[in-house]
C-alpha cells in the first residue's frame, strides 16, 4: 500500500535543556515520513523554498519515500518554526512560526499520490488539508493531525475536515480544547459523533490512548532514561501508527491491528526523542524497532488473577 502525506516540511530552531539547534530539518510531514517509511511506501506532498538543500531532500527520501510532489518554490523560503522546552520537557513555548511557502501553496497532487490507499493529513492549515482530502477520494483510510494554533484561528475549517476523516490524532489538551470538554473520554466521544471512527489522544511522556465507539486502549511511552528533544514525537508516532494500518488495511476493524499500530507508533517515537530533530530516525534498524515493540508488549501485558473482594 502507499501512503500520501501532506503537512509541514520545515526548518526548526529548538532549545531544550540538553542543547539547542538553530536550523535543522523538521516539519510534521518530515517526521511522519521518516517513521512511516519503516513500514510502507510514502509519498510526500508540500512546498519548500530554495533555501532547502539537496542534503535535506535526500533525508526526506530515506527508505525510498517519494518526493515527486515536493514542490521547490523559486524565491520562496521554507516553513520555519522555533520552540523552547521547559526543564522536564513537558512544556513547550512556540517562539516563532513562519508559514512562508505554505502561505500561497495550492496543492496539485500527481495521480500516484491521489491514488494512495492511505492518506495522512499532517499538521498544517486545515484549508490545505481539505484541498488534499478532496483530491484523494479513493483513500480507504484517512487520518488527521492538527494543533492549538488552528483550533484558535481556523476552527470552522478544522471541524469541516475532521468530518471527512476516519481518524483524528491530537494532543490530549488540544482534544479537550477543541471539544470544550474537560474529560478525555467525553471529548473523544464528541469527536466520534462528528464522523471519525477512532481518536488517538497523544499524551507526551505518558503515552497515548485510542478511543473508538466500543474500545479503549492506552499505552505508556517507551521508558527511556534520557529524552533529548521531543520535537516531532507526535508526528513520528502517527507515522508508525498509520504505517502499520497501511500494511493491514484489509483488517482495519480488527482491534488487534489498531493496538499493534499504537505499539509501532510508540516504539518509533522513542527513537525520535533520543536525538535532535530527525537524527534519531534516519538510520533506524528494523531489529531495534521490533525489540522495543516486544518490550512494550511485555510492559502492557498482565495475567488476570482472582482475589477475594469485600462488598
Ligand atoms: P510536534 O512536536 O509533534 O508538535 O511537531 C513539531 C513539528 O511541527 C516541528 O517540526 C514543526 O516544524 C512543526 N510545526 C510547528 N508548528 C506548526 C504549525 N503551526 N503548522 C504546521 N507544522 C508545525
Q: Is the pLDDT of residue 147 over 80?
A: yes
* Residue nearest to ligand 1 atom 21, measured at CA: 124
- The CA distance from 235 to 34, in Å, is 9
Predicted pLDDT of residue 105: 95
**Can you tell me whether residue 98 is helix, strand or coil?**
strand
Atom of ligand 1 at shortest distance to CA of 123?
21
* Overall average pLDDT of the 36-52 stretch: 98
With a cut of 80, say whether residue 281 has pLDDT above it.
yes
Q: What are phi and psi of 47, to 5 degrees?
A: -95, 150
Closest of 161, 160, 192 to residue 175, by C-alpha: 192
Average pLDDT over residues 238-261: 96
Pocket of ligand 1 contains residue 46 by CB under 6 Å: no
Task: Taking residues 284-295, report their average pLDDT.
Answer: 97
> What pLDDT, on the 0 to 100 scale, is given for residue 274?
97
Grade residue 253 by pLDDT with cuts at 50, 70 and 90.
confident
Q: Residue 169 has what pLDDT?
A: 98
Residue 189's pLDDT is what? 98
Does the CB atom of residue 12 touch ligand 1 within 6 A? yes
H or E segment to which residue 73 belongs: strand 66-73
Percentage with pLDDT > 90 across the chain: 96
- Our answer on whether the CB atom of 240 is closer than 6 Å to any ligand 1 atom is no
Ligand 1 neighbour 229 (Cβ under 6 A): no
- pTM here? 0.97
C-alpha cell at 152: 484558535
Given a cut of 80, whether residue 1 has pLDDT beyond it is no
C-alpha 309 to ligand 1 mean position (Å): 48
Q: How far is the CA of 235 from the centre of ligand 1 (A)?
A: 9
To test the pocket of ligand 1, the residue of 8, 56, 95 to mutate (highest count of ligand atoms within 8 Å of its CB) is 8
The arithmetic mean of pLDDT across residues 8-13, rounded, is 98
State the chain's mean pLDDT as an integer: 97
- pLDDT band per the 50, 70, 90 thresholds, residue 90: confident
Contacts of 137 (CB under 8 A, 6+ apart): 114
CA distance 164 to 173: 22
Q: Is the CB of 208 under 6 A from ligand 1?
A: no
Taking only the tens place, the pLDDT of each residue in 181-236 is: 999 999 999 999 999 999 999 999 999 999 999 999 999 999 999 999 999 999 99
C-alpha grid cell, residue 186: 467525553
Rg (CA), the chain: 19
Please tell me the predicted confidence (pLDDT) of residue 122: 97
Ligand 1: residue whose CA is nearest its atom 20? 124
C-alpha cell at 49: 523554498
Phi, psi of 2 (to 5 degrees): -115, 150
Amino acid at each position: 500500500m502507499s501512503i500520501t502525506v501532506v503537512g509541514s516540511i520545515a526548518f526548526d530552531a529548538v532549545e531544550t535543556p540538553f542543547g539547542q539547534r538553530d536550523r535543522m530539518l523538521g516539519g510534521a510531514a518530515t517526521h511522519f515520513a521518516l517513521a512511516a517509511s519503516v513500514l510502507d511506501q510514502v509519498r510526500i506532498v508540500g512546498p519548500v523554498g530554495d533555501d532547502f538543500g539537496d542534503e535535506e531532500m535526500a533525508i526526506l527520501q530515506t527508505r525510498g519515500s517519494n518526493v515527486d510532489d515536493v514542490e521547490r518554490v523559486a524565491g520562496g523560503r521554507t516553513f520555519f518554526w522555533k520552540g523552547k522546552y521547559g526543564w522536564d520537557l513537558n512544556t513547550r513555548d512556540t517562539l516563532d512560526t513562519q508559514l512562508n511557502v505554505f502561505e500561497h501553496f495550492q496543492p496539485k497532487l500527481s495521480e500516484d499520490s491521489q491514488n494512495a490507499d492511505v492518506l495522512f493529513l499532517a499538521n498544517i492549515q486545515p484549508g490545505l488539508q481539505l484541498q488534499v482530502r478532496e483530491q484523494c477520494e479513493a483513500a480507504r483510510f484517512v487520518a488527521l493531525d492538527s494543533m492549538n494554533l488552528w483550533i484558535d484561528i481556523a476552527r470552522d475549517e478544522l471541524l469541516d475536515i475532521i468530518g471527512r476523516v476516519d481518524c483524528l490524532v491530537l494532543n490530549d489538551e488540544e482534544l479537550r480544547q477543541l471539544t470544550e470538554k474537560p474529560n478525555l473520554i467525553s471529548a473523544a466521544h464528541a469527536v466520534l459523533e462528528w464522523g471519525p471512527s477512532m481518536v488517538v489522544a497523544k499524551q507526551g511522556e505518558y503515552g497515548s490512548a485510542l478511543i473508538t465507539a466500543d474500545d479503549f486502549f492506552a499505552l505508556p511511552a517507551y521508558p527511556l532514561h534520557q529524552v533529548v528533544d521531543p520535537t516531532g514525537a507526535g508526528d513520528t508516532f502517527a507515522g508508525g501508527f498509520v504505517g502499520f494500518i497501511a500494511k493491514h488495511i484489509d483488517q482495519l476493524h480488527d482491534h488487534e491491528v489498531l493496538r499493534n499500530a499504537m505499539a509501532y507508533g510508540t516504539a518509533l517515537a522513542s527513537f525520535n526523542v533520543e536525538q535532535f530533530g530527525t537524527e534519531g530516525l534516519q538510520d533506524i534498524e528494523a531489529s531495534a524497532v521490533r525489540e522495543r515493540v516486544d518490550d512494550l508488549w511485555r510492559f502492557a501485558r498482565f495475567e488476570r488473577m482472582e482475589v477475594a473482594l469485600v462488598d
